[in-house]
Structure 1
Amino acid sequence: MKKWALAASIAAVACAAPAPKQDLAAGYDIVIYPAQAVVTMTGEDKTAEAVAVSADRIVAVGSLEELRRDLPSARVNPVFEDKTIVPGLIDPHIHVVLGSLQYNLPITPPWPMATPHGMKAGLPNRAAFLQALSELVEAAGPSEPIVAYGYHNLVHGDLHRADLDAIAPDQPLIVWHYSSHDFYLNSAAINAAGFTPDMAEQFHGVDLDADGALTGRIYEDAAMLVVQAFAGVILTPENVTAGFNGFSSMLRQAGVTTTAELGYGMFGWEMEAANIRANWGSPQQAGYHLYLIPEHRALERAFGDGKVQAVLDMASGNTDTAAPILPRVKFFTDGAFYSQTMRLSPPGYLSGQSEGSEGLWVAGPDGIVPAIQPYWDADLGVNIHSNGDAAQGATLEALAMLREGDDGPANSFVIEHGGLFSEEQVELAGQLGARLSAASHYVFYMANEYAGPLGDVRAKWISPLGALTEAGVPVAVHSDAPLAPPHPLRAAGVHVTRATREGSTYEAGMALSRYEAMEAITLDAAMALGLEAEIGSIATGKRADFTILGANPLDMPGAEWEHIPVWGVVLDGEPRPLKNKGSLQGE
Structure 2
Amino acid sequence: MNLAKTARLLIIVTLLASLGFFATRAAATDTVYYNGTIITMDDDRPLAEAVAVREGRIVAVGNRDIVMASAGKTARRIDLGGHTLLPGFVDSHGHAYAIGLQASTANLLPPPDGAAADIPALQAQLADWMADDPAVMRGIGWVIGFGYDDSQLAEQRHPTRRDLDAVTIDYPVMIIHQSGHFGVANSKALERLGITTASENPDGGIIRREQTSRQPNGVLEEMAFLAPLMQLLSQFDDAMNEHLVIEGTRLAATYGYTTVQEGRAMPAAIAAMRRVAERGALDVDLVAYPDMLAVPDVTPSRTYAKRFRIGGVKLTIDGSPQGKTAYLSEPYFHPPHGQSADYRGYGAIDESTARASVARAFARGWQILCHANGDAAIDQYIDAVRAAQTEYPDVDNRPVLIHGQTLRKDQVEAIDELGIFPSLFPMHTFYWGDWHRDSVLGPVRADNISPTGWLLPRGMMFGSHHDAPVALPDAMRVLSATVTRRSRSGDILGPEHRVPVATALKAMTLWPAWQHFEENEKGSIEPGKLADFVVLSANPMAVPEEQLNTLMVEQTIKEGRIVYQR
Contact 1:403 1:410 in 2 (8 A): no
Q: Which residue of 1 aligns with 2:496?
A: 509
Aligned AA for 1:91? D
Shift of 1:92: 2.8
Paired residues for 1:260-409 under 5 Å: 260-265=261-266, 268-269=267-268, 271-274=269-272, 277-278=275-276, 281-282=279-280, 285-300=281-296, 307=297, 310-312=298-300, 324-348=308-332, 350-353=334-337, 355-356=339-340, 357-408=343-394
Q: Which residue of 1 aligns with 2:520?
A: 533
Match 2:422 to one of 430, 433, 436: 436
Contact 2:204 2:346 in 1 (8 A): no
Match 2:432 to one of 446, 449, 452: 446
Shift of 1:437: 1.6
Paired residues for 1:454-469 under 5 Å: 454-469=441-456
Per-residue CA distance 1:327-377 (angstroms, 9 max, x = gap):
421111211233221111122452335743322212343332310222213
Give the Cα separation in 1 of the matches to 2:501 and 2:442: 30
Aligned AA for 1:260? Q
Distance 1:488 1:54, change over 3 A: same
Q: Which residue of 2 aligns with 1:180?
A: 180
Q: Secondary structure at the match of 2:411?
A: helix
Q: Which residue of 1 aligns with 2:252?
A: 251
Q: Secondary structure at the match of 2:258?
A: strand
Sequence identity of aligned pairs in percent?
A: 25
Distance 1:64 1:24, change over 3 A: closer
Q: Which residue of 2 aligns with 1:121?
A: 115
* Aligned Cα root-mean-square deviation (Å): 3.5
User: TM-score scaled by structure 1?
Assistant: 0.80
Give the Cα separation in 2 of the matches to 1:354 and 1:492: 37
Shift of 1:412: 0.3
Aligned AA for 1:217? V
Aligned AA for 1:254? Y
Give the Cα separation in 2 of the matches to 1:163 and 1:485: 25
Give the Cα separation in 1 of the matches to 2:162 and 2:116: 24
Shift of 1:457: 2.8
Q: Which residue of 1 aligns with 2:145?
A: 148
The answer to whether 1:547 aligns with 2:531 is no
Shift of 1:535: 0.5
Give the Cα separation in 2 of the matches to 1:559 and 1:375: 42
Q: Which residue of 1 aligns with 2:403?
A: 417
Distance 1:80 1:68, change over 3 A: closer
Match 1:519 to one of 506, 510, 522: 506
Aligned AA for 1:346? E
Q: Which residue of 2 aligns with 1:584?
A: none
Higher relative contact order (CA 8 A, sep 6+): 1
Shift of 1:518: 0.7
Distance 1:440 1:246, change over 3 A: farther
Give the Cα separation in 2 of the matches to 1:316 and 1:514: 31
Per-residue CA distance 1:291-343 (angstroms, 9 max, x = gap):
2222211222xxxxxx2xx324x6668xxx78522442111121123322111
5+ residue gaps in structure 1? 1-19, 114-119, 301-306, 582-587
The answer to whether 1:200 aligns with 2:194 is no
The answer to whether 1:478 aligns with 2:460 is no
Per-residue CA distance 1:191-250 (angstroms, 9 max, x = gap):
232223554265432425464443333332232442355459x73777666655554443
Contact 1:35 1:84 in 2 (8 A): no
Contact 2:40 2:87 in 1 (8 A): yes
Q: Which residue of 2 aligns with 1:223?
A: 225
Per-residue CA distance 1:545-583 (angstroms, 9 max, x = gap):
1222343221223333343343323322x242744x2xx
Q: Which residue of 1 aligns with 2:106?
A: 106
Contact 2:322 2:440 in 1 (8 A): no
Aligned AA for 1:446? W
User: TM-score scaled by structure 2?
Assistant: 0.83
Distance 1:347 1:296, change over 3 A: same
The count of residues paired between Structure 1 and Structure 2 equals 534
Give the Cα separation in 1 of the matches to 2:55 and 2:165: 60
5+ residue gaps in structure 2? 1-19
Give the Cα separation in 2 of the matches to 1:65 and 1:107: 49
Per-residue CA distance 1:110-156 (angstroms, 9 max, x = gap):
3332xxxxxx3231x45544666677789999x96533323222233
Contact 1:29 1:74 in 2 (8 A): no
Aligned AA for 1:226? P
Aligned AA for 1:365? E
Aligned AA for 2:260? T
Contact 2:201 2:224 in 1 (8 A): no
Aligned AA for 2:487? T
Aligned AA for 1:223? F
Shift of 1:101: 2.0
Moved more, 185-194 or 536-545: 185-194
Give the Cα separation in 2 of the matches to 1:74 and 1:330: 49
Q: Secondary structure at the match of 1:85?
A: strand
Aligned AA for 2:172? P
Q: Secondary structure at the match of 2:381?
A: helix
Give the Cα separation in 1 of the matches to 2:440 and 2:24: 56
Contact 1:349 1:355 in 2 (8 A): no
Aligned AA for 1:147? I
